Amino acid sequence: MLRRSNRYAWLVFAALLLLCACAKKEWQTYRANTARTADQSHATALSDPDKVPHLAVGWTWQPSAGEAANFRASPIVFDYTVFIGNANGYFYAINGNTGSQLWRFPVASTPLVGSCGFGAYGIQSSASRADVGGQDAVIFGAPDPSIAPGLGSARLYALNAATGALIWKSDVVAQVTGCTGCAGVCSPAALSQLHERIAYSGPLVHDGVVYVGVHDSGDDPIQNGKIIAVELSTGHVLPGFSFLATTTRGGGVWNAPATDGHGVFFTTGNTRTWNGGSQGPPAINHGLSVVRIHPKTGTVDWTFQPVPYDLDDDPDWSAGAAVLHSDDDECGKLIVSVQKDGWTYALDAGTGQCKWQYPPTDEPSCTFPSGGVHDHGDTDYKQPGAIWGHVVIMKVGGWGLTTPGGFDSGYSRLHALNACAGDHHRVRWILDVPDTAPGDGYAIGAPTVTGGIVYVTTNTGHLIAVADTKLRPPAGHRCTDEFINPTSSGPGWKAVCNAHGFKVVPSPTVLADVALPDGSVAANLRNEPALAYGKVYVGTSAGHVYALWPH
Amino acid sequence: MPGVGNPQGSWWRSRTLLLLLILLVIAVIAWITWRVSNPKAFVDREPPASEPEVEVQFAGSQPKNPFHLEEGNVLSRTVFSTPGPTNSQIEVRDFKFPPHVRTRLGALPGPGVLEVYSGKGAVSQGGKTEELAGGIAKSVPAGKALEFENRGDYSLVVRVYLVEGK
């Protein structure tokens, strides 16, 4: 038995250990945390505007020869280790300091890829850190070829973070029961099969439960959207929990759920555009919505659906929800997201009431009336935003959406939006991100932020770092409506901008623009630059993981 | 017996208090050390800066198919123009009218249809006024001046489909 003094000594030691463990300069899940703010809140060299201009590639890693590699998932980083899955069906752990591989899962030469096209996506789900029965673990979703008949039904995997050993495989959470697609109108065979995926949904670990979204494969055909909850300790699906997006098809969950500690939030895909789009709306339609569900039961607390069924031309809501918590209660707790059509919303987290819409449409509820003329189609505002204090940094459509043909004008552009300001002061700054190939919906990835310095990747393979205007003087100014500029309005463009009700706003300074050796294939749909331990980690579609830091 | 002086118990109580005090001091030192070595990154919570008084440099991209400025701060552009049947010309034009003002637009060279893309207001022609809102389409005759009133806070954006006789 320990002497009492020894017990106190152990207590002191444990307290110190606890304090050390709290030194979170890590990036433990997609978008950094369960609120999905993508904010590294601890100061490092990456938040120092004097050091960031010296950003350069420190190390590069790629899978072994023969392992075809395409990183669509984003890295997470803790214990000085980078964890990332690959579309080749393998999950890797890499030493964050040296870039050497620590382990691979599965060790065997059978990767996590289904035999059917609907289940052949490998690991595109970004991982999350969790404590599973005292083991430090990483959890991600992937097809399991061992589920008969091997088409690609998927489940969650929990691995020991230090060794890569399997802790559990969850029950099946997404099923692929056939490989018959639709060509326009779907055959009965295609409609009778399940083509479910968990490709783009990173798991949310919260209060002993793991949540993951289920979506389809290219709407071929649309599957019913779901949130599946499994027990963290065992991987078994929780029997008392259920969320289905519709009573028929649609409302796929293409994103990683978020939480404010009370509810679970996510966004859902389209409902109408399958089988030629001729069918009526389902009796329950939570498609094209921001949704808050109860974490224990999956019952819907509220939904927000700005685009009605008759205007649903496939503007899936892919970006997911981010929680903005204004700790001084200036604007409460907001759920912020951009729909695929480029319109941006901030909702009251408790009630789902729309607090603002950008650009505003003068509709108090922020919804679009039936028969409107705006585009609500398959455009590409799919990337989630970063939350820095009261500022939302995001790829959004902006005022270009209110002018015919302007639906794609925001593809290469970052907006910083003041979440707690009025409409006239909504825009903090706008940046046309350099080194992007124009017209591409994937011109930029999902931004991340630390200390007001924003990091984003481009479709020409560049990593860009931008300083908020509080850190560095802006490079110049512009009108919030892009169509008002010196070319259209002459030297008096500022006056014209103000006369139209818009605002002249800063364009921030680019601190660093690093060309990654992968070139134009370096960027990807959902890749985010993970900011951990003073380093930027990115995975590329050419199959490399890069670590960059100020040299 | 409880409550009766016990030199050994008193010694233990003193020692316990001392250890607790040491524990507290260590915890405070550890906390301060942690805070110093793990500073929070800067977060700005001040209101956004207002537009500078000095002349500013433009730093934005020029969109494809730009507008040009007309009288009354109206912006317009032709997005499509092609010869039509029986010696006609078909044009599609966009207009952006500034808010809270009435703007007179010269007579159109041919009949057309206008469609409101965004904003709200009214259009008057020959003494007749009609309400405008997003999605509304109106036919407009040739040769009559149009007056647009933008009743919103931002641009009233209108697309006009014109058939012009040559």
CATH of the domain at A142: 2.40.128.630
Q: Nearest 5 degrees, angle CA A396-CA B97-CA A408?
A: 25
**Is residue A45 domain-resident?**
no
Distance from CA of A92 to the nearest CA of B (A): 28
B159 with B78, same domain? yes
Query: Half-sphere exposure of residue A531, counting CA atoms within 13 Å on the CB side?
Result: 34
Is the CB of residue A337 less than 8 Å from the CB of residue A349? no
B75 with B13, same domain? no
| Tokens describing residue A96 | 């964050």
3-state secondary structure A4-40: HHHHHHHHHHHHHHHHHHCCCCCECECCCCCCCCCEC
- H or E element that contains B148: strand B146-150
DSSP-derived secondary structure letter, A224: B
B24 with B106, same domain? no
B154 with B76, same domain? yes
**Is residue B83 domain-resident?**
yes
**Is residue B108 domain-resident?**
yes
Distance from CA of A204 to the nearest CA of B (A): 25
Query: Closest partner residue to B38 among A23, A388, A496, by Cβ?
Result: A23
Backbone angles phi, psi at B41, to 5 degrees: -70, 150
B31 with B93, same domain? no
| B69·A488 Cβ contact <8 A | yes
User: Which chain B residues have a beta carbon less than 8 Å from that of A37?
Assistant: none
Q: Which of A382-391, B58-67, B156-165 has the highest mean pLDDT?
A: A382-391
| B135·A390 Cβ contact <8 A | no
| B23·A400 Cβ contact <8 A | no
| B157·A405 Cβ contact <8 A | no
- Residue A415 CA from chain centroid, whole number: 17
B97 with B157, same domain? yes
**Is residue A438 domain-resident?**
no
| A371·B34 Cβ contact <8 A | no
| A19·B23 Cβ contact <8 A | no
Task: Find the closest chain B residue to A327 by CA distance.
Answer: B45
Q: Which of B15, B61, B148 to mutate to test the interface with A (most CBs of A within 10 A)?
A: B61
**Is residue A93 domain-resident?**
no
**Is residue B61 domain-resident?**
no
CATH of the domain at B148: 2.60.120.10
Task: Find the closest chain A residue to B23 by CA distance.
Answer: A12
Is the per-residue pLDDT at B144 higher than 50?
A: yes
B29 with B109, same domain? no
Residue B32 belongs to domain spanning: 8-39
| A-B C-beta contacts closer than 8 Å | 199
B34 with B96, same domain? no
**Is residue B111 domain-resident?**
yes
| B56·A504 Cβ contact <8 A | yes
Task: Find the closest chain B residue to A25 by CA distance.
Answer: B38
Distance from CA of B120 to the nearest CA of A (A): 9
Among B67, B126, B129, residue whose Cα is nearest residue B97:
B67
Among A383, A387, A350, A377, residue whose Cα is nearest residue A528:
A383
| B40·A41 Cβ contact <8 A | yes
pTM of the predicted protein model:
0.92
Start-to-end Cα distance in chain B = 119
Distance from CA of A493 to the nearest CA of B (A): 9
Q: Which amino acid, B135?
A: G
Residue A250 belongs to domain spanning: 112-311
ipTM: 0.86
Q: Which of B25, B45, B115 to mutate to test the interface with A (most CBs of A within 10 A)?
A: B45
Task: Find the closest chain A residue to B16 by CA distance.
Answer: A5
Enumerate the β-bridge partners of residue B122.
B131, B149
B116 with B79, same domain? yes
DSSP-derived secondary structure letter, A385: P
Note if the bond before A221 is cis, omega within 30 degrees: yes
| A486·B159 Cβ contact <8 A | no
Distance from CA of A282 to the nearest CA of B (A): 26
Q: How many domains does chain A contain in total?
A: 1
Is the CB of residue A324 less than 8 Å from the CB of residue A418? no
- Strands (E) in A37-110, as ranges, are 55-61, 76-78, 81-85, 91-95, 101-105
Q: pLDDT 10s digit of each residue in chain A, 551 long?
A: 445 555 555 555 555 544 544 457 999 999 999 999 999 999 999 999 999 999 999 999 999 988 878 999 999 999 999 999 999 999 999 999 999 999 999 998 899 999 999 999 999 999 999 999 999 999 999 999 999 999 999 999 999 999 999 999 999 999 999 999 987 788 999 999 999 999 999 999 999 999 999 999 989 999 999 999 999 999 999 999 999 999 999 999 999 999 999 999 999 999 988 777 778 899 999 999 999 999 999 999 999 999 999 889 889 999 999 999 987 667 899 999 999 999 999 999 999 999 999 999 877 789 988 877 788 988 999 999 999 999 999 999 999 999 998 899 899 999 999 999 999 999 999 999 999 988 889 999 999 999 999 999 999 999 999 999 999 999 999 999 999 999 999 999 999 999 999 999 999 999 999 999 988 777 777 789 999 999 999 999 999 999 999 99
**Is residue B140 domain-resident?**
yes
**Is residue B62 domain-resident?**
no
Is the CB of residue A301 less than 8 Å from the CB of residue A292? yes
Start-to-end Cα distance in chain A = 52
Give me the pLDDT at residue B133, please.
86
Q: How many domains does chain B contain in total?
A: 2
Query: Closest partner residue to B117 among A19, A404, A503, by Cβ?
Result: A404
Distance CA A67, CA A136 (A): 27
| A487·B52 Cβ contact <8 A | no
| A43·B42 Cβ contact <8 A | yes
SS3 content of chain A, % helix, strand, coil (to 5): 10, 35, 55
User: Which chain A residues have a beta carbon less than 8 Å from that of B15?
Assistant: 5
B87 with B152, same domain? yes
